[in-house]
Structure formats: structure tokens, C-alpha cells
Amino acid sequence: MATTIAVPRPTVRSSETPLPPHDGKRPWKVDVEHLSFFYGDKRALEDISITVQPNVVTAFIGPSGCGKSTFLRTLNRMNDIIPGARVEGKVCIDGQDIYGPGVDLVSVRRKVGMVFQKSNPFPKSIFENVAYGIRINRIASSRSELAGRVEESLKQAALWDEVKDRLQESALAMSGGQQQRLCIARALAVKPDILLMDEPASALDPIATQRIEELIYQLKANYTIVIVTHNMQQAARVSDFTAFFWLGRLVEYERTDKMFTAPSEKLTEDYLTGRFG
């Protein structure tokens, strides 16, 4: 006989979730209003409203299938390629709705870069991996500017000292942690404003993970970073704000220190303390 397990419902509806404080000096970098997302008939995200300040790290946490990765991918329209996918609501980046009419998808993705769970360097040299985006976007006007851009990106990704003497070697010969930092350098090379990271350290050992986390901490001086992680300790270590997703809803969105010491929602408390999820 099948047993039905009673699953707790969130006590706060997504659209009512209180927003974290903002200094009021700069506009929101990301402003999502009443976003719902559908895979065919299945609603994967339900009425999400969230705002992100510039130059902070925001972490999305929640159990598998809660919609955190789906939501991340709506922020640069990465879900567009999925057949039957549909979006309702608004996602404004610097005030512009990226789902609005006449939006240039290439410029959206240039502005909102992405780093994936599994490092995916091109089967090219280290230099060419970073130079690729600069070339196709015609950002550099000369060979020396291109080289300068590559060097700057590798330095920002804390990789330059390790690879400066072997830029022409294959990127595939690098360690997993180095490959992931190369992918970060590649994303930074086209000068995005926002960096989306989908489980960027889940395939790495603790030392490589620590380097990525430290890198994220340093990068927020120049970028707005949104990271999805199933590792809630990682969210605690690297982020300024944390959003907890559950069953496609945004349950709680708070300053990270508050979220991990005194969450407002019982559901968040239960998840953080391992009582479910």
C-alpha cells in the first residue's frame, strides 16, 4: 500500500518574501518580478520575486529539484533552448527586461556570464580559450590588446601565475580546479557585469574548492555574482545573501549571516538543520 508523506508547505508566498536591505545608492542589478517558469505543462518556478544588489554574492540553495538552477538560468535566458520552456514575469538587468521584445540575446549573455558545474574548456590552448570570446565579440582592436585582455582575465581568475609560461599548451592538460578557473577567466574576458555560477566547485577537491571560493570572494569587488550550490556550507562561506528555494518557490531570502544563524522560516530552519531535503 502506498504511503503518503505529508510535506510541509512554505508559510511565506514567494512574492511576499521580504527583500534584503539595500543601501539605496545604486539601483538593483537584478530585479525579478513574479517570475514563473514552465517545462511544458509543469510549473518549475512559481511566482518568484527577488532583487540583487550590485557587487554582492548571492547564493541559491535548496534540495535537488527545487528550481534553483532553473531560476539561475532564467537570468541570462539559458533556458530558451529547452523545447516547450515558457517564462512568465519579468527579469530586469540594470532596469531592462531581458525577456522584453527586441532584446539582443548575445548582448544579454555577454553582460551576464555563466560558469557551469563541470568545467568545459575548448580543446584549444589556454590562451585561445580566454581569447575566444574577446575575438568573436570583437572587443580587442589589436593583437597586444587581445593579449592584455587575456592576461588581465587570467589574473582576475587567480590563474595567471600558474599558466603564464605555458599559455600555448592545451587547456585539457590542466587540473580540474585550473580548468574551472580557466572557465571563469573565459567568462570574465568579455567583461560581464554579472557572473552566474552553477555548482562551480561541486566536482573539485577541497583545496581547489577553497581557491574557487576565495576567488568568488575577491571577484565581487568588480562583479555581481549569483551562485547555485547544493552545498549549504559553501553558500555560508562565500555569499552575502542567500535565497532558499523549495518546490519551485522562494521560501526565504536574507542576509547570509542572518539566514544561517536565525532563519525566519521554519522550513528554512528544517532544511539547514538537515531535518529534510
Partner 1 sequence: MEQRVVRHFQEELEALQGRLLEMGGLAEERVRAAVQSLGDRDIAAIDRVLRGDEPINELHVEIDNRCFKLLALHQPMATDLRAIVAAVKINTDLERVGDLAVNIAEAARRYATHPPVKKLIDIPQMGDIAQTMLHDALDSYVRRDTILAHQVLNEDDRLDGLKTQIFRELLGYMLDDPTTVEPALDLILISRHLERIGDHATNIAEDVIFMVSALDVRHHAPNPPV
Cα gap 252→68, rounded to integer Å: 13
Instruction: Work out the angle at residue 192's Cα, subtended by the Cα atoms of residues 156 and 125, and round it to the nearest 5 degrees.
Output: 55
Considering the complex, state which of residue 72 and residue 236 has its C-beta at the smaller distance from partner 1. Answer: 236
Binding test (CB under 8 A) with partner 1, winner from 6, 23, 161, 221: 161
Binding test (CB under 8 A) with partner 1, winner from 77, 110, 186, 211: 211
What track of x and - describes contact with partner 1 for positions 1 through 40 (by CB under 8 A)?
----------------------------------------
Contact 60, 71 (CB under 8 A): yes
Instruction: Starting at the earlier edge strand, list the strands of the sheet with 85-93.
Output: 42-52, 30-39, 85-93, 96-97
Closest C-alpha among 6, 11, 1 to residue 252: 11
Query: What's the closest the beta carbon of residue 214 comes to partner 1, in angstroms?
Result: 5
What is residue 108's DSSP assignment? H
Considering the complex, state which of residue 122 and residue 277 has its C-beta at the smaller distance from partner 1. Answer: 277
Binding test (CB under 8 A) with partner 1, winner from 99, 122, 132, 217: 217
Q: Which residue type is seen at 193?
A: D
Q: Is 260 in the site for partner 1 (CB under 8 A)?
A: yes
- β-strand pairing of 85-93 with 30-39: antiparallel
Cα gap 90→231, rounded to integer Å: 28
Q: Is 158 in the site for partner 1 (CB under 8 A)?
A: yes
Stretch that binds partner 1, among 64-72, 76-84, 185-193, 254-262 (CB under 8 A): 254-262
Query: What's the closest the beta carbon of residue 272 comes to partner 1, in angstroms?
Result: 9
- Burial class from Cβ neighbours inside 10 Å (0-12, 13-18, 19+) for residue 4 reads exposed
Binding test (CB under 8 A) with partner 1, winner from 261, 273, 275, 276: 261
User: Which residues, 6+ apart, have CB-to-CB distance to 171 below 8 Å?
Assistant: 121, 122, 123, 124, 125, 126, 129, 179, 182
Q: Which residue type is seen at 97?
A: D
Query: What's the closest the beta carbon of residue 215 comes to partner 1, in angstroms?
Result: 9
Q: Is 222 in the site for partner 1 (CB under 8 A)?
A: no
Q: Is 169 in the site for partner 1 (CB under 8 A)?
A: no
Size of the residue set binding partner 1 (CB under 8 A): 15
What track of x and - describes contact with partner 1 for positions 109 through 148 (by CB under 8 A)?
----------------------------------------
Binding test (CB under 8 A) with partner 1, winner from 46, 97, 151, 162: 162
Contact 20, 253 (CB under 8 A): yes
Q: Is 41 in the site for partner 1 (CB under 8 A)?
A: no
Q: Which residues bind partner 1 (CB under 8 A)?
A: 158, 161-162, 210-211, 214, 217-218, 233, 236-237, 256-257, 260-261
